[in-house]
Amino acid sequence: MAKSNIIARTGNEAMAEAMRQIDPDVVAAYPITPATEIVQIFAGYVADGVVKTEFVPVESEHSAMSACIGASAAGGRAMTGTSSQGLALMAEMLYIAAGLRLPIVLADVNRALSSPINIHCDHSDTMMLKDSGWIQIFSENAQEGYDNMIQAVRIAEKAKLPVMVTTDGFIISHGMERIEILSDEDVKKFIGEYKPEHYLLKVEEPITIGALDLPDYYFEHRRQTAQAMIDSKSVIVNVGKDFTAKTGRSYELFEKYKLDDAEFAIVAMGSTAGTTKVVVDSLRAKGMKAGLLKPRVFRPFPKEEIAEALKNLKAIAVMDRSDSMNGHEGPVCLEVKAALYDKGLNKPVVDYIYGLGGREIRVQDIEDVYKEISGLSRTKAVSEVKYLGVRE
Amino acid sequence: MANIKELVKQKELFTGGHRGCAGCGAVMIARQVLMVAGPDTVVVSATGCLEVVSTIFPYTAWNVPFLHSAFENAGATISGVEALYKSFTRQGKINKKINFIAFGGDGGTYDIGLQSLSGAVERGHNILYVCYNNEAYMNTGVQRSGATPKGADTTTAPVGKVKKGKEQYRKDLTAIMVAHGIPYAAQAVAGNWRDLTSKVEKALSIEGPKFINVFQPCRLGWAYEPELTCEMGRLAADTCAWPLYEVLNGQYKITYRPKEKKPVAEWIKLQGRFRHLMKPESKALLDEIQALTDKSWEDLRKKETASTPAKAV
């Protein structure tokens, strides 16, 4: 290979690079920190004529998703990128995109939700939309963001569901990393051509999309969407396998890091998983059997597989980078606990709510979490939420 | 100009069997617009009466591709459809002219959808946006909108012991669209098919964003007998309560001049929503409405004169 496929990119640059290679038919987007660069860089590709994309610089995120819905229903590949308040403003349309079963791909740069207004990382925005019918894929670093974006196109089109790929605001989006990219040709080959069966621009075969369902049909249509989400799990697994075969980089529903013989584990998503791996290594060197489970796919939630992976642990800490404001646990912890319950596993699980609004999570914080849960007995279930790194 | 003998021979693109009220003006507008547009047309509709009555699953009244996504975003949704068409045309994946038409009521257009419409026309998409303006939120049961005229009785600005219906003037959305500098904006009315279809024909021949504000009598919300819809529309034009005009590249042209401009009360007195205005104690308000109607008509005539180039001698 004449040209090196190893490059230095920030998370946002990596997402934009993936979008350039995907070369969607339509991109409609509105800038928002910390996702702005994705749109800006992509607009540059459009201005230089290196993509065939029609770029729609809309006047709001609500309109961004509306235009993506229009383009996708019309028969093309449509993509956008956003964050935080932008995702919140899109919320209505995100549900509609999923209900219409449109394979739109969205890059979401995780950022806290107002109020108070804050531009830094947490997972509140993505978690707000966890029940919207979108497949949700988290990334640990820029490499995973890039790889997930490329896989998302195939996942969406096969599952007939929209996909959001998330990176952590600033931590990934603005951090420069070494990433390995595919050639344009390989990306083109991997995603293939999009050939929808029915679409608006096929005017000789008029169809109505977005009809009104009364109580005699609504439930069946929602049930079909729910089934599509259930079925998407195997789609994600298969696309991941194919991607691994092409790149050597492993993509499964979640990553197990030194988990199989672990006694104490943390469940963490996004960039924190990377920090946790460092802690696992250092604790292992000191003799603790520490491990990590990093969910990659949060929707659909792979509950059987996760429960199976956690079954031999003495205690588990779940790291929640958002708060459900429900009087008990955060969203990731609730999912993990439900998965364990269904397998009859009554284990100590402690929820740590951390990192809200970009509050730093340090190696020492994670070490402290392992130390705390290592003091819990195997048989004693706990229902406890801890706020990590907050002044109280 | 549209020929009715030719129009009626075409395949119905908006079919019967929809669930519009007897005397519904909105479905009349949709049917006439599609008669002109023809089958190579994609329609997007905002949530509202037209969408609700025409697409109850598993039925549809649309014989052209149709998309509804939400209430406030017909402008943005059709932008996406049209953007894909541009992309496909550039890629050589499609090679025929297709019309892109969005429908929205006054709720979806004047109010909740104004931002989305403004964005779409500012970006210059090649679309025709048709507002079926029945001057209130009829789909949810006759609530006031930005298009509701002063003095009208609605369920959220009702006539009570103290208040006499809506207290504010309606906004001039056509002027707002003209201010965007779009190539074509017009006002038409359900009840004057020739004027409406001619405007649709003209609009579709122009590249860029086009807007037609079609006044739509609503027998339910306005409270009149269902067989009077067309007459109510024509009377709105005859009283200049709803002047018919077009603005082509900034040049105003009044497309219908009543032979004898009738008092606005002739139109008002037929509608239940204005019943209170016909009482003697409402004379001042009725006079105010007449004065406003006169001024709007006069202003329009001035704009026409001012924007029309003087004829060469």
Q: Do B83 and A54 touch (CB under 8 A)?
A: yes
Q: Do A62 and B76 touch (CB under 8 A)?
A: yes
Tell whether B99 is within 8 A of chain A (Cβ): no
Chain A interface test: which of B57, B97, B125 (most A C-beta within 10 Å): B57
What distance in Å separates the CA atoms of residue B7 and residue B4, rounded to the nearest whole number? 5
Which whole-number Å values give the CA distances from B264 to A56, A201, B270, B287, in the listed order? Answer: 44, 45, 11, 9
Residues of B in contact with A220 (CB under 8 A): none
Tell whether B113 is within 8 A of chain A (Cβ): no
Same domain, A152 and A18: yes
User: What is the gyration radius of the CA atoms in chain A, in angstroms?
Assistant: 21
Residues of A in contact with B114 (CB under 8 A): none
CATH of the domain at A279: 3.40.50.920
Same domain, A197 and A343: no
Same domain, A180 and A206: yes
The one-character DSSP state at A311 is T
In the numeric block, the tokens 């964050």 are attached to: A83
Is residue B313 included in any domain, yes or no?
no
Domain boundary among A247, A277, A295: A247
| Nearest-Cα residue of chain A relative to residue B66 | A208
CATH of the domain at B231: 3.40.50.970
H or E segment to which residue A169 belongs: none
Same domain, A107 and A228: yes
Tell whether B34 is within 8 A of chain A (Cβ): no
The one-character DSSP state at B273 is G
pTM of the model as a whole:
0.97
What distance in Å separates the CA atoms of residue A26 and residue A78, rounded to the nearest whole number? 5
Same domain, A146 and A235: yes
On the 0-12 / 13-18 / 19+ scale of CB atoms within 10 A, A381 is middle
Domain boundary among A218, A247, A276: A247
Q: Angle, to 10 degrees, between the axis of helix A61-73 and the axis of helix B114-122?
A: 70
What distance in Å separates the CA atoms of residue B172 and residue B29, rounded to the nearest whole number? 20
Q: Give the per-residue pLDDT at B2.
A: 67
What distance in Å separates the CA atoms of residue B194 and residue B209, rounded to the nearest whole number? 22
Is residue A1 included in any domain, yes or no?
no
Residues of A in contact with B67 (CB under 8 A): 69-70, 73-74, 200, 209-210
The closest alpha carbon to A92, from B279, B91, B69, B23, belongs to B69
What distance in Å separates the CA atoms of residue A133 and residue A337, rounded to the nearest whole number? 21
Cβ neighbour number for residue B130 with a 10 Å cutoff: 28
CA torsion, ordered A145, A149, A154, A159, to nearest 10 deg: 80
How many folded domains does chain A comprise? 2
How many folded domains does chain B comprise? 1
Q: How confident is the model at residue B310 (pLDDT cuts 50, 70, 90)?
A: confident
Going A349 to A293 to A253 to A72, the CA torsion angle's sign is positive
Is residue A118 included in any domain, yes or no?
yes
Is residue A37 included in any domain, yes or no?
yes
Same domain, A218 and A258: no
Provide the residue range defining the domain that includes B166. 4-306
How large is the average pLDDT for residues A25-31?
98
What distance in Å separates the CA atoms of residue B211 and residue B188, rounded to the nearest whole number? 11
Residues of A in contact with B113 (CB under 8 A): none
Same domain, A41 and A185: yes
CA of B172, closest CA in chain A: separation in Å? 22
Q: How confident is the model at residue A1 (pLDDT cuts 50, 70, 90)?
A: very low
Interface confidence (ipTM) of the complex: 0.97
Same domain, A200 and A266: no
Same domain, A242 and A264: no
How large is the average pLDDT for residues B211-215?
98
How large is the average pLDDT for residues A329-348?
96
Token pair in block for residue A191:
């995603």
Q: Give the per-residue pLDDT at B10.
A: 86
Q: Answer for the pair A157, A103: CB distance below 8 angstroms, yes or no.
A: yes
Residues of B in contact with A53 (CB under 8 A): 87
Chain A interface test: which of B81, B116, B125 (most A C-beta within 10 Å): B81
Going B240 to B245 to B247 to B252, the CA torsion angle's sign is negative
> Tens digit of pLDDT for each residue in A57-87?
999 999 999 999 999 999 999 999 999 999 9
> Tens digit of pLDDT for each residue in A34-64?
999 999 999 999 999 999 999 999 999 999 9
Q: Give the per-residue pLDDT at B8.
A: 84
Q: Do B68 and A100 touch (CB under 8 A)?
A: no
Domain boundary among A214, A247, A280: A247
What distance in Å separates the CA atoms of residue B303 and residue B250, rounded to the nearest whole number? 10
Judged by phi (left if over 0) then psi (alpha if -120 to 50, else beta), residue A244 lies in alpha
Q: Answer for the pair A353, A387: CB distance below 8 angstroms, yes or no.
A: yes
What distance in Å separates the CA atoms of residue A265 and residue A257, rounded to the nearest whole number? 9
CA of B116, closest CA in chain A: separation in Å? 6
Say which of B63, B76, B90 has its CB closest to residue A67. Answer: B76
Q: SS3 for A355?
A: coil
Order of strands across the sheet that contains A163-168:
A54-56, A26-28, A78-82, A105-110, A163-168, A135-138, A297-299
How large is the average pLDDT for residues B293-310?
96
Provide the residue range defining the domain that includes A154. 6-247
| Nearest-Cα residue of chain A relative to residue B86 | A54
Same domain, A287 and A330: yes
Say which of A52, A58, A213 has its CB closest to residue B91. Answer: A52
Same domain, A91 and A184: yes
How many Å from the N-terminal Cα to the C-terminal Cα in chain B? 29
Same domain, A122 and A138: yes
> Tens digit of pLDDT for each residue in A144-194?
999 999 999 999 999 999 999 999 999 999 999 999 999 999 999 999 999
CATH of the domain at A185: 3.40.50.970
